[in-house]
Structure 1
Amino acid sequence: MRVRVAAPDAALRASMHTALGRAGVPLVREPSSDAVLLAAASTVDEALADCQGGNQGGIVVVADRLASEGVRRAVRAGVAVLVQSARATPTRLAAAVRSAHDGEGRLPHETLVRLLGTDRRKQAAPPRLTARQLVMLRLMAEGLDNIGIARALSCSAHTVKNVIYDLMSRLQARNRAHAVAAGVRAGLI
């Protein structure tokens, strides 16, 4: 997994190179069909300008502001992962690159809530979840897998699997992303 960084100014490009280097992510200078493209700018639209033609290795956008319309355009353009600049630590950038490379999508929780923008008055009563299910749903929203949740809660991966199975049933969700979206719409997250 390799990354090419695109940014409108050299200082921003250098800071992304430094952060990715600290995370041990190999960088390439020239476009490559298998490399993940990390486009960084102050807005999503500015970052999208560097994504013309797409990228088969996956696309990560790092921007100061993640406005709803820009995020929608980014998703339509094939961007897999969006990261807010203020939260772009080396660890988060490495995780974002890995997600884009694997074809997984990631959005910051606040951005997802804003995009879903549901009217709480029109909703049915939220499903009743146990305290443990709520904690696991929130950890799923943070992007943790079963093993990560098990470590965070000091329990076995088997326990996590069973709790998530019941959680998915209560939320009538098809997959983890659907469960998180249902939790956001229901005001549980």
Structure 2
Amino acid sequence: MTATLTAPPAAPAVAVRVVPAPGAERIRALAERAGLEPGADECASAGTVTVIVAADTERALRVPRTPGPVLFVCDAVSPEGRRRVLRAGAVVIGAAELTEDSLLRAVHRAAHPHPSIPYPELSGVLSTGIRPHGLPTPGTPALTARQTSVLRLMAEGHGNADIALLLGCSEHTVKNVIYELMTRLQARNRAHAVAHAVRHGLV
């Protein structure tokens, strides 16, 4: 008996449109070397990732953009700036960490959003704690102080036993809090719960 092996379907091609700005030529060159298709300069079509180059996320978020996936390339990316970009539904990468490979990964993340957030980015978002103006998105359920504490420890990779030890409560209590979190945020798993909370300003 002969088995037939079927190759997995190739990932759909992604086009990038780089908004004219200082440093944009470098991004275009990297995109070309990475095998990304150039998008039309005038406007973004469906499936085209618009790349916006700026000194920081504050300036990047002020650049007018067309609907569709967006990738920001910024010289400076603060935790609060990263948080705001995530809440805007975009992806950001620091200019210093830019390579063909990292650009390719960032473009594909922008083009094909996933419910969870990569750990390095999530860690950067949560590293400074809650900011005074970090208000939840309207219509999003608020979390209690205990739920927020558990969520932050989940984001740092702690298991239920560690969380119970750090918060001075029982593991049973932690399990109940996580269950309440999942229900309140309508999350499918722990990573989805953390991603949802970050994107909606709950942490």
Q: Aligned partners of 1:66, 1:16: CA distance in 2, in Å?
A: 17
The corresponding residue for 2:87 is 76
Aligned with residue 45 of structure 1, among 49, 58, 64? 58
Identical pairs, percent: 30
The corresponding residue for 2:125 is 115
The corresponding residue for 1:93 is 103
- The answer to whether the 8 A contact 1:96-1:106 is kept is no
1:123 positional shift: 5.9
Higher relative contact order (CA 8 A, sep 6+): 2
TM-score by length of structure 1 reads 0.56
Deviations 1:137-166 (A, max 9, x none): xxxxxxxxxxxxxxxxxxxxxxxxxxxxxx
Larger-gyration structure (1/2)? 2
How many residues get paired?
A: 133
Q: Aligned partners of 1:97, 1:67: CA distance in 2, in Å?
A: 20
1:90 positional shift: 0.8
1:111 positional shift: 4.5
Could you say if the C-alpha distance between residues 116 and 20 of structure 1 is closer, same or farther in structure 2, counting changes exceeding 3 Å? Answer: same
Could you say if the C-alpha distance between residues 83 and 107 of structure 1 is closer, same or farther in structure 2, counting changes exceeding 3 Å? Answer: farther
Which blocks of at least 5 consecutive residues in structure 1 are unaligned? 130-171, 182-189
The corresponding residue for 1:31 is 43
Higher helix share: 1
2:71 aligned with 1:60, yes or no?
Answer: yes
Q: Which amino acid aligns with 2:79?
A: S
Q: Which amino acid aligns with 1:177?
A: A
Could you say if the C-alpha distance between residues 53 and 21 of structure 1 is closer, same or farther in structure 2, counting changes exceeding 3 Å? Answer: closer
- The answer to whether the 8 A contact 2:115-2:192 is kept is no
- The answer to whether the 8 A contact 1:40-1:63 is kept is yes
- The answer to whether the 8 A contact 2:79-2:126 is kept is no
RMSD (Å) for aligned C-alpha atoms: 3.5
TM-score by length of structure 2 reads 0.53
